Structure 1
Amino acid sequence: MADVARIAGVSRSTVSYALSGVRPIATETRDRILRAMSDLGYTPNLLAQGLAGKRTGIVSLIFPVGEQGMNVTEFEYVQGAAEQARLDGYHLLLWPMDADELGEMQRIVAQGLVDGILLMEVRSFDERIPVLLDTGVPFVSIGRPTDDAGLAFVDADFEAMGDLAVSHLAGLGHTEIGLVTHSQESLDVGYGPMVRSWDAVAASASRLGVTARLFPTASTLAGGRDVFEQILETAPETTGLVMINEAATAGLLGAAAKNGWRVPERLSLVAINTSAGSAERFMPALTTASAEPKAMGREAAQFLSRRLRGEGTDALQWLAEPVLTLRESTTVARTTRQ
């Protein structure tokens, strides 16, 4: 830093202010400092600045990897957030951390390693949120708890997704349907997308006179095979499924084909909260009722940047409206065709 200050003709403290943004610096002076840094190949130690109590220019996205890892749709949330953070002058650090690791999260915040946090995989009551509120660190969640008053969040409208999916299947004559979610444990701990999806599917099915069953399963290929066996044994009359378990979908499709259940002729599938990039990887390509995850990631990062700048601290909440996209996995119910 001393060499940068000497070549730019300023004090070391002025270089420090230019890097940290703690005090305003004249444009001409900042340009001289940046030219000197470029000439010397100097890169500031952002973590050292954070430990010294200054801005690090780093925001963290906390993602509980859990049983399923990160699927294509979830990666698109991260990709959108990272792209927007970079446009806003921040580096995004992906921090895989289980939702129960509250102490680890507190240590990250206390050490000043990050300026703000994006929180994913939010539960209906999420213990991470009161911890973050107590620390005072700016944060935005992708997902929301049941009580979201005063919180900044971006979320998919799962109620609308569930209704779109069930209405589509009902319109095709399906009267026996199911919802395939993540594991029973994810429902028991109140994982928001699973709880909201089932509530929405059940409510829409009741309104439309459709029978809906819940099929939780592990977020793995084996989980998909297992849940198809469960459907064979307990509800063979099922003709339509709403899927919110990307990892299990491939396993279910394979098991269905092995047992002679052609999709969509014997079994129609609608995936919710699934990106176009993911839906089109399957055979057949999946009909979806979904919002655009990359756009949601960008919006969440924008919200966080606004909070870090002290702008718009109120009403930073957005529910992304889903769209029904017809592909190759749904058709008229078998009983209707007969």
Structure 2
Amino acid sequence: MSRSTVSYALSGARPISPATRERILRAMADLGYTPNLLAQGLAGKRTGIVSLIFPVGEQGMNTTEFEYVQGAAEQARADGYHLLLWPIDAEDVDEVQRVVAQGLVDGVILMEIRSVDKRIPALVQTGVPFTMIGRPKNAEGLTFVDADFEAMGELAVAHLAALGHTEIGLVTHSQESLEAGYGPMVRSWDAVAASASRHRIGVRLFPAVSTLAGGREVFEQILATAPQTTGLVAINEAATIGLLGAASNHGWLVPRDLSVVAINTSEGAAERTMPALTTVSADPRAMGRQAAHFLSRRLRGEDAAVLQALAEPVLAVRSSTAAARTNQP
């Protein structure tokens, strides 16, 4: 096997067949050889490292978000790259630019995209290839993988409407995240409100801090201001768990008294609650893999504008939804 083939397999500069790459990696393991990534970068102007920039923010990283990262890491490795997780705040544009300017990474995956995201023009200006899990309001000419929130909202609301629910709510992240234009929150509210209007049912917005306490506070708010609510759509994993506990403490049974549909929530997260949550979601691990593969294609010079994908959501009915109650609990 030629030196150039081994070099291409390590650097990702040219495509190598999976079988050939596997032979090279097996030989490296047998010899106990570990390549010096920074030395490779100095020699070839590439490091073989890509960065996933994730602003931890108020909620930390939940189960679903970890699955995005896991999928991205798996695909990056399959494409010949190492994935570096970099928890940089969405407002810290200077730090994003420093990461790129130091030449430590060949490309970037952005998460937690806002409707108007300052990081995007900053990265465009640097010229570094990047892709996104999520998308801004104007995504023309950008590379992204995102959930189809319009379809997600319709599936969730239609499911509740078919069960006879006429008063529902949407539990999102905090009011601050909505005001900051955090994409999933804005798109979820727009989609759920539009779908509720089409189905002629009432809907209220319940922002919640992404903690168990935040979920308990939202349930108290429902009791105080909207006790007629029989169904919820939720896009806040931590708050949803807190809300389920608070409902039980007040004698509300899910789904007898309150149905809950979690959107943009993975199967793994949904199965961890009692009862298991009905979900409307795309596969976050598959979306992470696709975003990482889009980045590797960008690093090979493909046009950013043609690498865009909306992941189709699927309704998975579990134990947290049932016919709407006919009287107060």
Distance in 1, matches of 2:142 and 2:14, equals 29
Q: Which residue in the other structure is 1:62 paired with?
A: 53
Query: What amino acid sits opposite 2:118 in the alignment?
Result: E
> What code does the residue aligned with 2:290 have?
E
Alpha-carbon spacing, 1:57–1:336, altered in 2? closer, same or farther (3 Å): same
1:205-216 correspondence runs (5 A) = 205-216=196-207
Work out the percentage of aligned pairs sharing the same amino acid: 77
* TM superposition shift of 1:313: 4.0
The answer to whether residue 138 in structure 2 is matched with residue 147 in structure 1 is yes
Determine the structure 2 residue equivalent to 1:180: 171
Residue in structure 2 matched with residue 132 of structure 1 by the alignment: 123
Look up the SS of the partner of 2:216 in the other structure: helix
Q: Which residue of 2 aligns with 1:3?
A: none
2:185 maps to which residue?
194
Greater gyration radius: 1
Amino acid aligned to 1:329: S
CA distance change for structure 1 residues 268 and 18 in 2, over 3 Å: closer, same or farther? closer
Aligned-partner SS, 2:53: strand
Alignment partner of 1:289 is 2:280:
yes
2:96 paired with 1:101: no
Which of the residues 206, 217, 221 maps onto 1:230?
221
Of residues 289, 294, 318 in structure 1, which corresponds to 2:309? 318
**Which segments of 5 or more consecutive residues in structure 1 lack a partner in the other structure?**
1-7, 25-29
User: What code does the residue aligned with 1:169 have?
Assistant: L
Looking at structure 1, the residues matched to 48 and 14 of structure 2 have their Cα atoms a distance apart, in angstroms, of: 15
CA distance in 2, matches of 1:39, 1:308: 30
- Whether 2:246 is the aligned partner of 1:252: answer no
Structure 2 gap segments, 5+ residues each: 16-20
Q: Is the 8 A contact 2:216 2:246 kept in 1?
A: yes
Which shows bigger deviation, 51-60 or 39-48? 39-48
TM norm structure 2: 0.91
SS at match of 2:57: coil
Q: Which moved more, 1:147-156 or 1:102-111?
A: 102-111
Change (3 A) 1:83 1:35: closer
The alpha carbon displacement at 1:248 in A equals: 0.7
Structure 2 match to 1:5: none
1:335 is displaced (CA, Å) by: 1.7
Which of the numbers 137, 156, 164 marks the counterpart of 1:165?
A: 156
For residues 74 and 7 of structure 2, the distance between their equivalents in structure 1, rounded to whole angstroms, comes to 27
> 2:296 — aligned with what?
305
1:328 pairs with 2:322: no
Amino acid at match of 1:65: V
TM-score, normalised via structure 1 length: 0.89
From 36, 40, 47, the equivalent of 1:45 is 36
Please say if residues 53 and 112 of structure 1, whose CA atoms lie closer than 8 Å, have aligned partners that are also in contact.
no
Q: Which amino acid aligns with 1:68?
A: Q
**How many residues were matched structurally?**
324
1:92 aligns to what? Answer: 83
The one-letter amino acid paired with 1:76 is E
